């Protein structure tokens, strides 16, 4: 029963991320999820997916894949994620980084497959001075 408030808080934090975003230093929770959520200001493409049919846990898993693709993947290499319980999965592919002024930017694509539907989202994120990424509108 003590876990329920934690789960509710987690959902509210993610909902806030989808609506208004979290800053780099936002208190979130444990390790990788915190890094991914605060590492992409505004929550990345998956948080803009709206009705993609993903649970909050799946969104965090997908967001971590976006962050890994932006941070470390060579241009054109897919970063995959999968939820073994639901079978929902996706791929994130970041293109080669390029420079705009003093910022490194990367266009990327996130394909989500959930509930028999495939949805492809595209965007561009640029690295901030503090190391976080901001998704451009």
pLDDT tens digit sequence for 4-17:
333 333 443 334 43
- pLDDT for 17: 38
Q: Which residue range(s) make up the domain with 103?
A: 3-135
Angle 43-65-126 from CA coordinates, rounded to 5°: 55
For 16-72, the pLDDT digits (tens) are 433 333 333 333 334 444 444 557 887 899 988 776 889 999 999 999 999 999 999
- How many other CB atoms sit within 10 Å of the CB of residue 41? 21
Is residue 29 left, alpha or beta, with left meaning phi > 0 and alpha meaning psi from -120 to 50? Answer: left
- pLDDT for 1: 45
How many domains in the chain? 1
Encoded tokens for 37: 């959520």
Q: Would the CA dihedral through 114, 117, 118, 119 be positive or negative?
A: negative
When pLDDT is cut at 50, 70 and 90, the band that residue 2 belongs to is: very low
Residue 6 phi/psi, 5° resolution? -65, -45
């Amino acid at each position: 029963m003590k876990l329920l408030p934690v789960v509710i808080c987690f959902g509210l934090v993610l909902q806030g991320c989808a609506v208004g975003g979290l800053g780099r230093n936002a208190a979130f929770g444990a390790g990788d999820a915190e890094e991914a959520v605060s590492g992409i200001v505004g929550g990345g493409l998956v948080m803009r997916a709206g009705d993609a049919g993903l649970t909050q846990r799946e969104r965090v898993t997908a967001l971590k894949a976006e962050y890994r693709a932006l941070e470390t993947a060579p241009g054109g290499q897919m970063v995959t994620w999968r939820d073994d319980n639901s079978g929902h999965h996706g791929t994130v592919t970041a293109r080669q980084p390029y420079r705009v002024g003093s910022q490194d930017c990367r266009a990327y694509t996130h394909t989500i497959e959930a509930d028999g539907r495939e949805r492809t989202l595209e965007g561009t994120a640029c690295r901030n001075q503090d190391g976080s990424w901001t998704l451009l509108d």
